[in-house]
Chain A
Amino acid sequence: MSTVRPIKWLLALLVILVGGLIRLPLEHAFSKELKERQLAEERLNLSLRDELGQSFFIAVLGGFRSLVASIIEVKNLDSWQQQNWAKVDASYAICTRLQPREYHYWDFRSWMSAYNAFDYYRFEDQTRPGLQPWIRQNLIDHGIAVLEEGMKHLPDDYRLPRAIATLKADFEKNRDASYAEASAWFYKAWQLRPKHRFLWRNYVYNLARAPGNELEAWPLLLEMFNSGEGTNGDRTPTGNTLLVQLYPKVRTLLPGAALPAEVAAQVPAILASEMARKEREMKRQQKREAEQKAVEEAVLQQKQRQ
């Protein structure tokens, strides 16, 4: 080091400082652009250090954030197999904080809560029968809340509102299910990805099923029918069934309304098929309830013996 003259040291320092002064505004503008285009990494919260541990935190600082999130997900497989749902959620919460713009983590965190943990408390864990419905509803609500939070980071991803819509339309699982809300979420999803016609059709189906929306849904169902069959058309058996179901109500509100001739000819067959479907569903539901009751009684008897 002594072989370099002090003036050269000063000159080198000056070059770096002047370079820094030239570079900083460019860098600042570039960082801003990356943030605007959502290409920059999200700001790190120092509280993550405690949750991740030192080595993972250093790896995150070193630019390996995505890899750390993947490793956490892989490590989480054990908790999933052990059905430790609190730990599963905590791990996915870290993944979503590390990579909030990764759809996969929001989807999985919600799915783990609203489907896997839900089914576990429905079919396997019966230790607190009185609390089960409350626990299950909380899991559904949590799943929806996770998806809503994900939408703040991924406002253009149609899959998140679609997942919310699916949960909102599931009357079997969700005590707070609502066709009106489901249709609104399907509509939002369709607005984000208009090429996916199944989103549009789901919006119309749920709108038609929501009481009070008959007049709004009727022209949309007719439009679907008129678009024809096949992959380019929106005519579906579900749409035809809804036309038949809505017709009596629409006729009273809109005297000129008429069923398309093709559908009118199939009314008895459609109603019979719908009746049969409902019966099948009811039997399935009764069977499930009987199974659930048997499990609960077995648990109760076991507790009494203890």
Chain B
Amino acid sequence: MTPSSPDIPRPAARRHIRFSLSRILTLAGGTFTQLVRMKVFYFMAIFAVAVIAASFAFSDLQTDGQLKLLKDVSLASMSLFSMLFAIAGTALLIPRDMEDRTLYTILCKPVPRLEYLLGKLLGVVFLIFVSLILMDVLFSLVLYLKEHAIIAEQGAVLKERKFASREMLEANIASVQESMAGQGLTWNLQNGVLAIFFKAIVLTGVTLLVSTFASSTIFTIMASLAIMVIGQAQSLARDTLLGQDASIVPRAIGGAVSLLFPDFKGFDIVDAVVTGSAVPALVMGKMAGLTLVYLVVHLMAAYVIFSDKEL
């Protein structure tokens, strides 16, 4: 009799799940780490210099102008950096994975290509989110300090100045209050930052789509930049092309452009936010919904191309 082999407990065979959120999150985490290792956060130094410089520069401007300039420089920088991350970060991903052979290591495992794309997309989106949070915190802090410095300065001026009448004093106090309410730090400003984030998400989706069929990184970047420009100028072109006097050809071109390319003007609420217009939560909700529609469409198109692409 041969001695019976001891019963070694074997792990139960795990059933392969067709769609796994944890796999996607792992891929997203890996993508985020990969991008962070490219030292992308060094941009924060440039942003900090821009924001701090804008807060001290041009003291010749009146209080309204100084605060507006600070908000403009900060929000424009946020917008620019997030768009650069969306385009450059996404454009680099697939080619880099192919170069490093990581792509083959991942796809030879039972990882569906859709999950790979989703993971990559979420990684970039998370990077943009973290970057925007960092920029937003710095911007809000500088704006808060600037606003309080101005309030203290204006308070001292109002105390020292002798007014000819009670009405003039009250008008001056109201003027300072209105300025601070319109140009100071408010929760409403965060809606502007959120709109920048949504726009960057759409751009990330577009770039991911382009990168699935692009032959080189530079092509992806150039094509995505071109789509971004088209998206920004689309409404202006549409107004011209679809004008009442327009013939059938410009109308057809205008219609095709509207169908194929995203329209980024719907995300440009930063101007309104800077001027102090309140953005209701409902509007932000609808903007989030529109972002989701764009993301689903671009991701589906990207998957169709990437699904049986020979790598």
- The chain A residues found within 8 Å of chain B, CB to CB, are 1, 3-5, 8-9, 11-13, 15-17, 19-24, 26-27, 30-31, 33-34, 37-41, 43-44, 46, 61-67, 69-70, 73-74, 77, 99, 101-104, 107-108, 159, 162, 196-198, 201-202, 205, 236, 238
Contact = CB atoms under 8 A, between A and B. Distances in A.
Contacts of A107: 64
A99 B283 contact: no
Contacts of A16: 259-260, 297-298, 301
Main SS at interface, chain B: helix
Contacts of A64: 76, 79
A77 B304 contact: no
Contact of B300 (A3, A5, A19, A61): A19
A102 B71 CA distance: 13
Given A11-B304, A23-B294, A73-B65, A63 B264 contact: yes
Nearest to A157: B178
Contacts of A9: 305
A8 B268 CA distance: 34
Given A73-B61, A198-B167, A34 B283 contact: yes
B293 A19 contact: yes
Contacts of A4: 213, 305, 309
B279 A39 contact: yes
A24 B258 contact: yes
A77 B61 contact: yes
A236 to B, nearest CB: 6
B308 A30 contact: no
B185 interface: no
Main SS at interface, chain A: helix
Given A61-B232, A64-B76, A40 B265 contact: yes
A23 B293 CA distance: 7
B40 interface: no
Contact of A104 (B64, B259, B270): B64
A109 to B, nearest CB: 13
Contacts of A202: 167
Contacts of B175: 159
Interface in B180-223: 182-183, 209, 213, 215
Given A20-B260, A104-B64, 16 more contacts: A17-B259, A19-B293, A23-B297, A30-B286, A38-B272, A40-B269, A46-B240, A61-B236, A62-B229, A63-B79, A67-B75, A73-B69, A77-B61, A101-B277, A104-B62, A104-B65
30 contacts: A4-B213, A8-B307, A8-B309, A15-B304, A20-B259, A20-B260, A22-B297, A23-B290, A27-B290, A30-B266, A30-B287, A34-B269, A38-B277, A40-B269, A41-B265, A62-B229, A62-B232, A70-B72, A74-B69, A77-B58, A103-B182, A104-B62, A107-B64, A108-B62, A108-B65, A159-B178, A162-B171, A201-B167, A202-B167, A238-B167
